[in-house]
Amino acid sequence: MDALLKNNRNNIVMMAVLAVVLAVLPWVLGGAFENGKSWLRAVDFALLYIMLALGLNIVVGYAGLLDLGYIAFYAVGAYLFAILNSPHLQAVLPAWLSHPPFLVMMVMAAFVAGIFGVLLGSPTLKLRGDYLAIVTLGFGEIVRIFMNNLDRPINITNGPQGINNIDPVQIAGYDFGRPIEILGLTFEKIHLYYYLILAFCALIIFVSIRLQNSRIGRAWVAIREDEIAANAMGINTRNVKLLAFAMGASFGGVSGALFASFQGFVSPESFVLMESVMVLCMVVLGGMGNIPGVILGAIIVSITPELLRDIINPLQMAIAGKKVVDPENLRMLIFGLAMIVIMLVRPAGLWPSKRRRAELQPKTKDIALQEKDSLQDAERNHD
């Protein structure tokens, strides 16, 4: 009992320290780096990627459904926010649908993206592995191509030009596009969006933790381990898989809406296949099915380009007097090597869950041999 109380107390202290660090992070970055705003912008995007990675973790990590078109839900949320909060279609939109309140907008983005998730999941319920990956990849590309060509005969998405002049978020009369002064501190747009995205990121982490330990979360894991056995145990595999697609997509929709508001501009180029691959890399690199691992993977993958830009460019200028290698190209090389090393050394990821680690590294040789046995071998050994 004392150990349990001590453990809870330690967790509370750690959470309090983490909260303080996150609260002062924008000011620390601004004081420590000459390009502090650039770093804070990178942190804002890292938070958006954490939300995306946690959404994909539900589909890939919990339910074991390989989804290569996840970025499509991000696009749905972003374009929905852009269309309803920009002058682009204001002339034809009904007044009640134009510039909805922010929280209503977030619910709409999650709901619409969730519907798209169900639309993707419904025809793919009987697919697994490579076949499911190919179909979801096609879905992601279809959505992007739709956004690219939906400027005629009726101009809905403005085609390759994208939608600009997206209104910033307004909460309680505060316009997040303008500096706000509170207690003598001036919060610029990038600071305000940092706290806003951080709040939604914390909400999604909380929901993910609650889902992980819920009956639905255990049903997702059961389907991942053995769908036939899960069905035999009374789990409605069709509905549970559709729920995984819808829940994961809703996270993507929310992060997409925040992205559109933060950027003030969306175009199909922001939602290419490589973005889906990057989000999948975050989940695999960190540790599929483990929330802290997925967060770690998202931070590493999203912050690495900024580190390379600040390290590689000055290093090249000092050694060769010019830029020999583009840091962007070097990033892809490093990620490729990192994925190969992870597959060889830590196949469960940098920070795997206990369950995943136990699956890949059985405690005894007997357990490992039993897992390799066929059904007939198991029956024979049991007899």
Give per-residue pLDDT as tens, 308-363.
777 777 777 778 777 777 777 777 787 788 778 888 888 888 888 777 777 666 66
pLDDT given at position 373: 60
Could you tell me if residue 103 is inside a domain?
A: yes
Distance CA 71, CA 69 (A): 6
Place of tokens 């639309």: 119
Average pLDDT of the chain, as a whole number: 86
Is a pLDDT exceeding 80 seen at residue 234? yes
pLDDT in tens, 265-301: 999 999 999 899 899 989 988 888 889 999 999 999 8
pLDDT given at position 2: 63
| Phi, psi dihedral angles at 182 (to 5 degrees) | -130, 125
Kindly state whether residues 88 and 50 are assigned to the same domain. Answer: yes
Could you tell me if residue 371 is inside a domain?
A: no
Q: How many domains does the chain have?
A: 2
Q: 193, 264 in Cβ contact below 8 A?
A: no
Place of tokens 């639905």: 216
Residues sharing a CB contact under 8 Å with residue 248, sequence separation 6 or more, in sequence order: 55, 56, 57, 58, 59, 67, 70, 73, 117
* DSSP string across 130-191: HHHHHHHHHHHHHHHHHHHHTTSSS-SS-GGG-EE-PPPPEETTEETTS-EEETTEEE-HHH
- In this prediction, residues 123-139 reach a mean pLDDT of 86
Kindly state whether residues 174 and 52 are assigned to the same domain. Answer: yes
Q: Which of 243, 211, 222 is nearest to 125 (CA)?
A: 243
Question: 193 is written with which tokens?
Answer: 């969006």
pLDDT given at position 74: 95
pLDDT in tens, 8-62: 788 888 889 999 999 999 888 887 777 788 889 999 999 999 999 999 999 998 9
Residues sharing a CB contact under 8 Å with residue 157, sequence separation 6 or more, in sequence order: 79, 83, 146, 147, 148, 150, 151, 163, 268
Q: 205, 19 in Cβ contact below 8 A?
A: no
Could you tell me if residue 166 is inside a domain?
A: yes
Could you tell me if residue 363 is inside a domain?
A: no
Is a pLDDT exceeding 70 seen at residue 106? yes
Kindly state whether residues 23 and 151 are assigned to the same domain. Answer: no
This prediction's pTM: 0.89
Kindly state whether residues 170 and 119 are assigned to the same domain. Answer: yes
Place of tokens 């830009």: 309
Kindly state whether residues 253 and 119 are assigned to the same domain. Answer: yes
Q: Which of 157, 192, 167, 189 is nearest to 257 (CA)?
A: 167
Kindly state whether residues 83 and 164 are assigned to the same domain. Answer: yes
Could you tell me if residue 133 is inside a domain?
A: yes
Query: 3-state DSSP: the chain helix, strand, coil percent, rounded to 5?
Result: 75, 5, 25
Distance CA 149, CA 155 (A): 9
The helix-helix angle for 189-212 and 215-225 (nearest 10°) equals 70
Is a pLDDT exceeding 60 seen at residue 374? no
Is a pLDDT exceeding 70 seen at residue 165? yes
- In this prediction, residues 257-269 reach a mean pLDDT of 94
- Is the pLDDT higher at 142 or at 184? 142
User: With pLDDT > 90 as the criterion, what percentage of the chain qualifies?
Assistant: 47
Kindly state whether residues 241 and 317 are assigned to the same domain. Answer: yes
Could you tell me if residue 369 is inside a domain?
A: no
Maximum CA pair distance of the chain?
77
Kindly state whether residues 70 and 27 are assigned to the same domain. Answer: no
Residue numbers of the domain that contains 218: 36-353
Is a pLDDT exceeding 60 seen at residue 383? no
- In this prediction, residues 113-135 reach a mean pLDDT of 88
Kindly state whether residues 17 and 44 are assigned to the same domain. Answer: no
Kindly state whether residues 207 and 298 are assigned to the same domain. Answer: yes
Question: 142 is written with which tokens?
Answer: 């279809």
pLDDT given at position 363: 62
The domain spanning residue 298 has which CATH number?
1.10.3470
* DSSP string across 80-114: HHHHHTSGGGTTTS-GGGSS--HHHHHHHHHHHHH
Q: 129-134: which pairs have CB atoms within 8 A and are 24 or more residues apart?
A: 129/66, 130/66, 132/65, 132/66, 132/67, 133/66, 133/67, 133/68, 134/68
- In this prediction, residues 156-182 reach a mean pLDDT of 89
Q: 295, 286 in Cβ contact below 8 A?
A: yes
Q: 252, 52 in Cβ contact below 8 A?
A: yes
pLDDT given at position 380: 62
Kindly state whether residues 7 and 62 are assigned to the same domain. Answer: no
Could you tell me if residue 376 is inside a domain?
A: no
Kindly state whether residues 86 and 16 are assigned to the same domain. Answer: no
- Under DSSP, the state recorded for 266 is E
Question: 50 is written with which tokens?
Answer: 């954490």
Residues sharing a CB contact under 8 Å with residue 287, sequence separation 6 or more, in sequence order: 293, 294, 296, 297, 348, 349, 350, 351, 352, 353, 356
Could you tell me if residue 274 is inside a domain?
A: yes
